[in-house]
C-alpha cells in the first residue's frame, strides 16, 4: 500500500492509492457554540436531494445530539471501539502543538482505519476498517434525542412541556454533519469498481451512478457513515456538496460560486463554506486572507472531526466551550484547549472574521479588514474587552466585492410626544 502524507495526524500513513490533490478543496467550518439543532440544514438538504422513494432513510445533512445521539446510531462509538480493539494501547496523540501547516495538532501515534485493517479480523477483500450499520441504526436519525414530539395519535400538536424528562446534571451539544469530502476518502479507497472519484477542480467526492453496483463497500468503509445505499435503485448515494451551486452552474447562482443548500439555510449562522487552495503535498497552501485558512491555520479555532481516523476530513468545527475537554479531544484532537481559549477571548481579527458567517450566500475567497475606531472598552467576566468598529470586506471568485460589514450603535430617537420631557 502506498504511503501518503496526512497533515492532520502529522505523519505519513498507508492508503490504497497514491496521493492526488485537487486544485482547490471544498471545505467548511461549523461553529458548534451557536447550533441550536433547528434542523433547517437537514430539511434544506432533504427537500433538495433526497425526497424520493427509496431515499426515506437518507439524511445527507443531519444534526445529532452528542454525546448520546448519532445517525446512524452510535456510528462514532462503533468505529472508535473497532480501532481500539485493533490497537488497544496505541490510540493516542504525541501532543506537541505547533503553528505550522503540517502537524499543527502533533502526531497521532495510533492506527488509522486504513492501517488497522491489517490487524483486525477482516475479509481479504476489505481495504478499510469499517462496518455496515443495520437498518434499525439508519431508520431513526434522532431517536431518543431531545426533539419535541406530540401526544400519540394527535396530528400537528406538540407537547408544550417538552422537557419534563428527568432533569440530569449532564452536558450535551449539537453536532451538524455532512460528508467531509475527505482528502483520503475511505469510500473511494474501498470501492472495488472504482466508481467513486474526487473531482480535480474542487475536491468534491462523488459516486458514479452508472459504475456503482451497490456492493456497499463504501457504506461499510466511510467512518462518518455518509454514503448510503438506496434499495430501489440498488446503488449507493452520497452528499454531492450541491456541486451545481459550488460550480456556479445552478440558475440561482448567476454564474458565481454559491454555498450549498445546508449552509445557506442555517439560521443560527454557524456555517461557512469555501474552496481552499491545496499544495502539492496536500497541505493547505498559504492564503492568509482566506477566511477558512484563517480559522483553521492562523487562529486555529476550527478543528477537523475525528482526525485520527485518517481520512483527512475537510469539515472543521469550532468546539463547544462548555463540554469536558477529554471528550472534545477524542473528537477533535489535541488542539481543543487552544481553540477554545482563543475563541472564548477573540482578538480583533477573529472577531471581525466571525462576522463573515452567513452574511452572503456567495462563496468568499478573500477578506480584508479596514480598521475603525475603538467603540467600546470594558471588562467582561474578568477580562478586558475592546470592540472596534472595523469594516470587514468579503471578495468573491473574480476578486469582486461581495459585501462589507460594520457595527453600529443603534440610535434611539425620542418620539415627538416626549421630545421635551426631560
Partner 1 sequence: MPYHEPDPSDPNVLVGVSLPGDEETTREMAISFAEEFAFLGFDQKHLLNVFRTPDYEGAHRAYLLLGEEEILRIIGEATKVFGRFRVVVHDRPEERAETLVQIEVGESKCRT
Contact positions vs partner 1 (CB under 8 A) = 31, 33-34, 36-37, 67-68, 73, 136, 143-144, 146-149, 152, 158-163, 165, 167-174, 254-255, 268-269, 320-324, 327, 354-355, 359-360, 375-376, 378, 380-381, 385, 387, 389, 400-410
- Residue 74 vs 126, nearer CB to partner 1: 74
* Residues 35-58: b if buried by 16+ CB within 10 A, e if exposed: bebebbbbebbbebbbeeeebebb
- Residue 174 vs 332, nearer CB to partner 1: 174
At a CB cut-off of 8 Å and minimum separation 6, what does 259 contact? 242, 245, 246, 271, 272, 273, 361, 362, 363
**Nearest Cα to 265, choosing from 32, 38, 60, 27?**
38
- Residue 149 vs 419, nearer CB to partner 1: 149
- Residue 280 vs 408, nearer CB to partner 1: 408
Beta carbon of residue 144, minimum distance to partner 1 (angstroms, whole number): 4
- Residue 280 vs 409, nearer CB to partner 1: 409
Beta carbon of residue 345, minimum distance to partner 1 (angstroms, whole number): 11
Bridge partners, residue 205, by sequence: 198
- Residue 222 vs 340, nearer CB to partner 1: 340
Beta carbon of residue 310, minimum distance to partner 1 (angstroms, whole number): 27
Measured in degrees and rounded to the nearest 5, phi and psi for residue 337 equal -60, -45
**Nearest Cα to 295, choosing from 371, 350, 359?**
350
Beta carbon of residue 138, minimum distance to partner 1 (angstroms, whole number): 12
Measured in degrees and rounded to the nearest 5, phi and psi for residue 325 equal -65, -30
| H or E element at residue 72 | none
DSSP letter, residue 71:
S
**Nearest Cα to 62, choosing from 135, 138, 129, 134?**
138
Beta carbon of residue 167, minimum distance to partner 1 (angstroms, whole number): 6
SS3 10: coil
- Residue 194 vs 344, nearer CB to partner 1: 344
d(CA 402, CA 404): 7
Cα 340 to the chain's mean position, in Å? Answer: 17
Beta carbon of residue 273, minimum distance to partner 1 (angstroms, whole number): 18
Beta carbon of residue 221, minimum distance to partner 1 (angstroms, whole number): 24
Amino acid at each position: 500500500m502506498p504511503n501518503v502524507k496526512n497533515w492532520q495526524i502529522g505523519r505519513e500513513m498507508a492508503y490504497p492509492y497514491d496521493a492526488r490533490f485537487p486544485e482547490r478543496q471544498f471545505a467548511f467550518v461549523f461553529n458548534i457554540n451557536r447550533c441550536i439543532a433547528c434542523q433547517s440544514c437537514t430539511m434544506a438538504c432533504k427537500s433538495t436531494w433526497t425526497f424520493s422513494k427509496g431515499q426515506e432513510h437518507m439524511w445527507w445533512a443531519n444534526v445529532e445530539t452528542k454525546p448520546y445521539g448519532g445517525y446512524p446510531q452510535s456510528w462514532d462509538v462503533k468505529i472508535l471501539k473497532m480501532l481500539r480493539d485493533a490497537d488497544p494501547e496505541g490510540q493516542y496523540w504525541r501532543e506537541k502543538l505547533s503553528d505550522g501547516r503540517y502537524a499543527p495538532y502533533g502526531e497521532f501515534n495510533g492506527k488509522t482505519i486504513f492501517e488497522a485493517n491489517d490487524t483486525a479480523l477482516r475479509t481479504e477483500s476489505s481495504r478499510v476498517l469499517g462496518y455496515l450499520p443495520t437498518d434499525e441504526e439508519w431508520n431513526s436519525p434522532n431517536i431518543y434525542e431531545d426533539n419535541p414530539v406530540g401526544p400519540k395519535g394527535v396530528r400537528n400538536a406538540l407537547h408544550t412541556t417538552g422537557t419534563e424528562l428527568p432533569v440530569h446534571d449532564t452536558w450535551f451539544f449539537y453536532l451538524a454533519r455532512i460528508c467531509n469530502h475527505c482528502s483520503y476518502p475511505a469510500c473511494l479507497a474501498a470501492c472495488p469498481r472504482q466508481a467513486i472519484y474526487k473531482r480535480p477542480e474542487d475536491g468534491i467526492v462523488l459516486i458514479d451512478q452508472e459504475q456503482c453496483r451497490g456492493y456497499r463497500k463504501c457504506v461499510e468503509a466511510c467512518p462518518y457513515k455518509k454514503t448510503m445505499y438506496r434499495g430501489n435503485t440498488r446503488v449507493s448515494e452520497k452528499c454531492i456538496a450541491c456541486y451545481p451551486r459550488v460550480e456556479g452552474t445552478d440558475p440561482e447562482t448567476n454564474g458565481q460560486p454559491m454555498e450549498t443548500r445546508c449552509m445557506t439555510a442555517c439560521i443560527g449562522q454557524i456555517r461557512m463554506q469555501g474552496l481552499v487552495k491545496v499544495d502539492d503535498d496536500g497541505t493547505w497552501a498559504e492564503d492568509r486572507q482566506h477566511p477558512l485558512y484563517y480559522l483553521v491555520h492562523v487562529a486555529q479555532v476550527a478543528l477537523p472531526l475525528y482526525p485520527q481516523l485518517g481520512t483527512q476530513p475537510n469539515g472543521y468545527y469550532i468546539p463547544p466551550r462548555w463540554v469536558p475537554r477529554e471528550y472534545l479531544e477524542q473528537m477533535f484532537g489535541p488542539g481543543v484547549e487552544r481553540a477554545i481559549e482563543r475563541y472564548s477571548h477573540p482578538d480583533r481579527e477573529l472577531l471581525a472574521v466571525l462576522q463573515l458567517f452567513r452574511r452572503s450566500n456567495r462563496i468568499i475567497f478573500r477578506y480584508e479588514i479596514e480598521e475603525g475606531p475603538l467603540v467600546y472598552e470594558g471588562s467582561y467576566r474578568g477580562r478586558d474587552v475592546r470592540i472596534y468598529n472595523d469594516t470587514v470586506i468579503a471578495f468573491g471568485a473574480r476578486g469582486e466585492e461581495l459585501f462589507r460589514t460594520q457595527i453600529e450603535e443603534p440610535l434611539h430617537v425620542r418620539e415627538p410626544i416626549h421630545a421635551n420631557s426631560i
